[in-house]
A = this chain, B = another copy of it.
Amino acid sequence: MKITYSPIGTIHTPFHELSGMPIQPASDLSAPGTVELLPEYLPGIKDLDGFSHIILIYHLHQSHGFKLMVTPFLDTESHGVFSTRAPLRPNPIGISVVKLLGVEHNLLRVDNLDVLDGTPLLDIKPYVPEFDSPPAVRLGWLEGVKYNLRSTRSDQRFS
C-alpha cells in the first residue's frame, strides 16, 4: 500500500545544513521563520490566528533512507528509531509545535523552528493542550541521560 501526499506549502528557516541545527523547538537555538502556504489553501487557515501555538507536520526532505537503531543527539547509547525523534525514519515525517506570531495573507510568521529551510509542509493543526498534552508521563531512556536540550546542536550523524 502506497500513500501519496502533496505539500501544502514550504517552511522557510535560517537553517541550511543538517549539522549545527537546534534539535527541537524548545531549544534556545530554534529560530523564527515563515510558513508559506500555497495560495490555493488560503481559506483553510481562517481563524488560525486565534491560536498561540500550532503543530506543523512536514516531510524531512533531506532524510534519505532509514535506520532502525540510532544513537540520538541527546544520548551516547543506541535506541530503536521509534523510541527517538531522529530523522532517519521509515516514513520521514516530522512534527513541531511552534509559536504562531502572526498571519499575513498566506504567510505564517512563527517562532521556535527547528527544521531545514525549504522543508515541505504537509499539514497544520491547532495545538490544544487538552488534546495533545496528557498529564503524567514516563520518559524511558531520556530519564537516564543528562542532556541539555536547549544548547545541544545536531551533527552529521543523520546526514
* A residues neighboring B (CB under 8 Å): 1-8, 24-26, 41, 43-53, 55, 57, 59, 68-69, 79-85, 89-91, 93, 95, 97, 99, 112, 120, 122-134, 136-143, 149
Give Cα A149–Cα B129 distance, bound, in whole angstroms: 12
Residues of B within 8 A of A127 (CB): 134, 137
Q: Which of B43, B47, B125, B136 contacts A52 (CB 8 A)?
A: B136
Residues of B within 8 A of A45 (CB): 80, 82-83
A10 to chain B: closest residue by CB: B1
Give Cα A52–Cα B83 distance, bound, in whole angstroms: 11
Residues of B within 8 A of A80 (CB): 43-48
Give Cα A50–Cα B24 distance, bound, in whole angstroms: 20
Indicate if the CB atoms of A43 and B26 lie closer than 8 Å. Answer: no
Residues of B within 8 A of A90 (CB): 6, 8, 41, 44, 123
Give Cα A47–Cα B143 distance, bound, in whole angstroms: 12
Q: Which of B68, B83, B120 contacts A41 (CB 8 A)?
A: B68
Residues of B within 8 A of A52 (CB): 136-139
A50 to chain B: closest residue by CB: B140
